[in-house]
Structure 1
């Protein structure tokens, strides 16, 4: 999976979000509650794991993501990007000022070892 390289390099903190509500308006991100934070080596490891997710074709489910990550720069003044993950339709949507349109919609294999490891990390934050 491709992430915006400059934003990845600038990421100091990742906020893990358990999504629980559809967007208020079409085209807006889903909303949810923060359940964890990753910083330093943990954030770098998570971003590397995401970048290693193998691609896949689209599977229709209507896009109901359960998880999102918000990447912040060191001042924490704004999110560089948000990535929303739907493990049902195998889709990731990127939003934010540092997310170029070409990367806004991607597909991944949720059954791959990388995706299963990533999902376990996400679920670990929610416990």
Structure 2
């Protein structure tokens, strides 16, 4: 999976969200409950894990993401990016000020060890 390089180097905080629905308008954050805030090495390790997700093929499920990660710079105002993960259709959708159009929709191998490790981290962070 490709992450916005500038955002990865700028991010100081990751917010993990258990998604409860889809946004009501384009560009709005995915609704849900925050389960964890990762900073320092924890955030860097999670970003590295996301960046190591191998590409995959699209599966049809209608995109029903369960988890989202929002990355913030040290100003903590607008999210640099939000990545919503659907482990059923193997799709991740990204949005935010640091996301170029080419990275907004990607597919990953949800069966890969890296994806299973990321899912385990999300589950540990469940609210």
Q: TM-score, normalised by structure 2?
A: 0.95
1:28 deviates by 4.6
What are the Cα deviations for residues 2-52 of structure 1, in whole angstroms up to 9, with x where unaligned?
000000000000000000022213665431111101000100000000000
Task: Quote the residue 1:70 is aligned against.
Answer: 70
Q: Structure 2: which 5+ residue stretches go unaligned?
A: none
Task: Quote the residue 1:125 is aligned against.
Answer: 125
Quick one: structure 1 residues 26 and 76, their matched pair in 2 at CA, closer, same or farther if it must change by over 3 Å?
closer
Q: TM-score, normalised by structure 1?
A: 0.95
1:75 deviates by 1.5
What's the secondary structure of 2:50's corresponding residue? Answer: helix
Q: Structure 1: which 5+ residue stretches go unaligned?
A: none
* Contact 2:58-2:107 within 8 A present in 1 as well: yes
* Contact 2:27-2:95 within 8 A present in 1 as well: no
Misfit runs of 4+, over 2 Å? 25-30
CA RMSD of superposed structures (Å): 1.2
